[in-house]
Amino acid sequence: MSASVNVPEINTADLQLAKFQSKKELCRANSFFRKDKKFTNFPWATGPLSLVAPSKAILLLKTNGLKFYVKKPIKESDLTPKQNRSLDEDKAILFGCWGAVFFLERISSC
């Protein structure tokens, strides 16, 4: 017998990516989704120093004092020539989550 999990419908157009400057801030965000009742109905996933969730959840993170940049989904066909060069030169990645794609520039360690 398998247990069913009630997963809310995910609107990919409403997804946003919160890009954090530090792992500490990402961990704080993760703890909100795991422990705070205001976040329990939102789907979420983590990526490289980032978290993907619906726009309302991202706004709630900001109101809780977290610092991050917000990225919106893009279509691969809408990439600029500069973005394509960055991908070719391994200076950026495309991060996919629930059918949404985000363009992320790599952070230089220098």
Q: What CATH number did the domain enclosing 36 receive?
A: 3.30.70
Q: What is the percent of the chain where pLDDT is above 70?
A: 89
> Is position 73 within any domain?
yes
Q: How confident is the model at residue 108 (pLDDT cuts 50, 70, 90)?
A: low
> Is position 110 within any domain?
no
Q: Residues 57-66: pLDDT tens digits?
A: 999 999 998 9
Q: How confident is the model at residue 2 (pLDDT cuts 50, 70, 90)?
A: very low
Task: Quote the domain boundaries for residue 31.
Answer: 14-105
> Is position 2 within any domain?
no
Q: Write the DSSP symbol of residue 42.
A: S
Characterize 19-55 residue by residue with b for buried, 16 or more Cβ atoms within 10 angstroms of its Cβ, and e for exposed.
Answer: bbeeeebbebbeebbeeeeebeebbbebbebbbbbbe
- Quote the tokens at residue 39: 């976040």
Mean pLDDT on 55-83: 92
The domain tally of the chain equals 1
Instruction: Please tell me the predicted confidence (pLDDT) of residue 85.
Output: 94
> Is position 3 within any domain?
no
